[in-house]
Amino acid sequence: MARITLQNVDLEFQVGVEHHDTLKSAIARKLRLRRDSTRTIRALQALTFSIQSGERVGLIGHNGAGKSTLLKVMAGIYPPQRGDVRIEGHVCPLFEFATGFEMDASGWDNIRIRALLLGMSPREIERKANDIAQFSGLGEFLDVSVRYYSSGMLLRLAFATSTAVDPQILLLDEVMAAGDAAFIDSARKRMNDLMERASIVVFATHSLTVLPQFCERTILLNHGRVIADGPTREVVQLYTDGLKEK
């Protein structure tokens, strides 16, 4: 049974900054010198919650609230400095689609490489490869090195491969498909089907009108903290009321 549990999770980043004092700043500018120091950004602060099998959970909040960072913690990309993260079930993170390509390899080879990284077995890959290729709509370009693909073609290939998985835990970060209207419509339908198949879905989005269609529960983040966690319509209303007051 799939489950996500976070207990008092903190995540911090050390960021280099340029520091100036009055007289020293003027001297440094003249001599073209820089004096660097670091500051700490608390990306996530004391996060505690659990998500059970069968739940579809939205993540909302302003830019920089910690939504994408939280997804990467759940995916195991960022280990927290403090606290405990427990994931039970196979995780499929669907974000940063266009990274990780072998640029000198063909489209077909990249389908196989990406599918392996997503946890598919070689037998499963061969069974699904033709369907992935057909959905991508890239045709004979799959025989060509992806170095010659446009950004839209790369995204099509990555999207088609990444959404061919059968995930237990699906992590989504405002997925957008590139291409013509027909492909975008197909991409939406494919995402809906993928979300139906997953045991757990965590969906970070800015689209407050779309969110209630997918998620019964939503977590509102602000500066890395959980501000609200409950029924989606109530949490969305709390968030929009806060935006109106600003």
What local confidence, expressed as pLDDT, does residue 236 receive? Answer: 95
Number of C-alpha atoms within 13 angstroms, CB side, residue 184? 7
Sheet holding 217-222, edge to edge: 91-94, 169-173, 200-204, 56-60, 217-222, 225-231
Mean pLDDT per 10-residue segment, the chain (246 residues) = 96 69 57 61 94 96 94 94 95 74 94 87 94 95 95 86 88 65 74 88 89 92 96 95 74
What local confidence, expressed as pLDDT, does residue 179 receive? Answer: 53
Identify the DSSP state of 100. Answer: S
| pLDDT mean across residues, the chain | 86
Name the pTM for this structure: 0.78
What whole-number distance in Å separates Cα of residue 93 and Cα of residue 72?
8
Number of C-alpha atoms within 13 angstroms, CB side, residue 20? 11
pLDDT 10s digits, 145-180: 999 999 888 888 988 998 888 889 999 887 554 455
Cα pseudo-dihedral 109, 115, 118, 123, rounded to 10: -130
Phi, psi (rounded to 5 degrees) for 84:
-130, 130
